[in-house]
Amino acid sequence: MTADPVIRTILLLDIERFSHRDDVEQAYLRRMLYDITDRALRSADIDETLRLRADRGDSVMELIDANASVTALLRALLTEVPVQLRALNRMASSSAQIRLRGVVASGFVAIDEHAGWVGSDLNHAVRLLDAEVLRRALRERADDFALCVSDALYTGVVRHDHPGVPADGFHRTTVASKNGPLTAWLYGPVPGGATGGAAGRAPGTGTDHGDRGEEPAPGGSGDRPAPAAPPRATAAGNHPAPEARWPAPAPGPCFRGPVTIGGGTVHGDQNNVTGNQITGTVRLGGRGRDRGEDA
C-alpha cells in the first residue's frame, strides 16, 4: 500500500563519468559523494531526522522535510559544495577527480510498500538531472559543480533574490522529455548548442538572457546561425568570380546575330551547326576572320 503523498524538497546529486572508472575508483567516489552531501546538509542545518536518502549507485537522492529551509540548502549548494570539490580535486589523481551535477526541486512524493518513491514531481526532477543542458554545462565549466532548479522552486524561492541565492545567476532553460518540455533554471550561463535548452529572462528582473519563449534551436540556448558562405574564388587568385549574366551556352557552336556562310546570310540563333562544309569568309556578328588568319 502506498502512503499518502506529502510535499518534499528533492535534492539529487550525480557523479560525472562514473561508469568510466573501475570498481575501486567507484567505491572511493561514492564515499566522497556521501561525505559531500552530508556536509552540505549539515551546513544548511538540515538534521538527519528531516531527510530520507535513496542510493542510486552513481547518484544520491534526498527527500527533505518541507519545514527545512530551502534557501539555506541552496546557499550551501552554491558555496559549500564547490569549496569541498575544489579541496578534494586539488590533490586527487585524474581517476579520483569528482565532479557533480545537482538538481533541487519540490513537489509531492509518496512512499510505497517497498520503500520506493513515486510521484510525477520526482520523475521531473530526475529528468532534469539527466538533461543534456546540465551535462554540457558541467563539461564546459572549469568549476566541478553544475546546478539547476525546477520552475516551481525558482518561482517560490529563487526569484525573490534571497541573500546568497542570486536570482540573476539563474537562467531559464527548456528540457525536452517524453512527457513534453520541462522548464528549469540553470545556475550560470546556459551552454550553446545543448540539446533541449533555451535561455530566458527571469521574470520581474532587469537581467536579459534572451526571449522567454521556447528554445530556438537544439541545445537549449540556441545555436549561432551558420556563417554566410564566402564568395567563390577564382583559380588565379582570391578575387570573387563574376556572377554569370547569361545562361551557360549549349554544347557545340552557337551563333547569335546575322551570320554569313559562303555568301548566304543566316538570321536568328543557330545552334549545333554540324556536318556542313563552310567556304569563304566567315563573319560572326558583323566581324570577319579568314580561315587563314590566326585565331
pLDDT tens digits, residue range 99-151? 999 999 999 999 887 878 889 999 999 999 999 999 999 999 988 999 999 99
pLDDT higher than 90, residue 36? yes
- In angstroms, the CA 239 to CA 241 distance is 6
The pLDDT value recorded for residue 18 is 87
Cell 525546477 belongs to which residue?
150
pLDDT higher than 80, residue 16? yes
Share of the chain above pLDDT 70, in %: 65
pLDDT higher than 50, residue 231? no
Domain boundaries, the chain: 6-187, 254-289
Beta bridge partners of 149: 104, 185
- In angstroms, the CA 74 to CA 55 distance is 21
Cα angle vertex 126, ends 122, 117, to 5°?
40
Cell 554566410 belongs to which residue?
228
| DSSP state at residue 148 | E
The pLDDT value recorded for residue 195 is 45
The whole model's pTM is what?
0.65
What average pLDDT does range 196-209 have in this prediction?
40
CATH class for the region spanning 6-187: alpha beta
Q: What's the pLDDT band for 281 if we cut at 50, 70, 90?
A: low
